[in-house]
Amino acid sequence: MACVALVSTMLLVSDRLIAGGPQVSSASDRVQHGRRLFIEPSSSSVAGGKAYLVVAPLIFQGESYRGDYQLKVRPYFFKSEKGVLNLAAPGDSMRKFQGGSATDFTGKVISAKGKTRVVTGRITPSTRDRGTVTFSVITENGKMVFNTSYHFGP
């Protein structure tokens, strides 16, 4: 259920950011302006089923990547959700990441129903524009972990 909230929050944030467009306010923002972060769909096992996470392209705004998410839980469809994902990307972390180093991150998801959950993870570049990412979120039913890949694009 928490995973569903996380994914929902991710999706909602993406829609709002896309509608508002990126805002350029610092040197770090200018470096990322125009580049979106694409997260590949992933899944996590849950008791008696599976949770599927789909994240819309994340847009760099301020010091974070934001975008919508959708979490589908099978067979527990009633635990599925949509929302907004906001991943913190402060300047120091971005410099470390852009230098090719694995970087831990935090963030939050806000479901369309208003439930907020903390997201933690690690992003590991393999090239300048691609790599792997792990998202973790604590739910009422335990920790959900999503391992997937990412790439940057226009």
Which element (helix H / strand E) includes 9?
Answer: helix 2-20
Could you tell me which of 111, 115, 131 has the C-alpha nearest to residue 123? 131
- Asked whether the beta carbons of 109 and 55 are under 8 A apart, the reply is no
Q: What is the DSSP letter of 129?
A: S
Q: Which two tokens stand for residue 33?
A: 């302006």
Cβ neighbours of 7 (radius 10 Å): 33
pLDDT for residue 150: 96
Under the banding of pLDDT at 50, 70 and 90, the label for residue 47 is: confident
**In the chain, what are the domains?**
2-153 (2.40.160)
* DSSP state letter for 154: -
Average pLDDT over residues 32-56: 89
Interval 92-127: pLDDT, tens: 888 888 889 999 999 999 999 999 999 999 999 999
Question: What does the mean pLDDT of the chain come to?
Answer: 81
Contact predicate 111/41, CB 8 Å: no
Q: Average pLDDT, stretch 77-85?
A: 94
Are 62 and 25 within 8 A, CB to CB?
Answer: yes
pLDDT digits (tens, 9 = 90+) for 119-153: 999 999 999 899 999 999 988 878 899 999 999 99
Q: For the whole prediction, is pTM greater than 0.95?
A: no
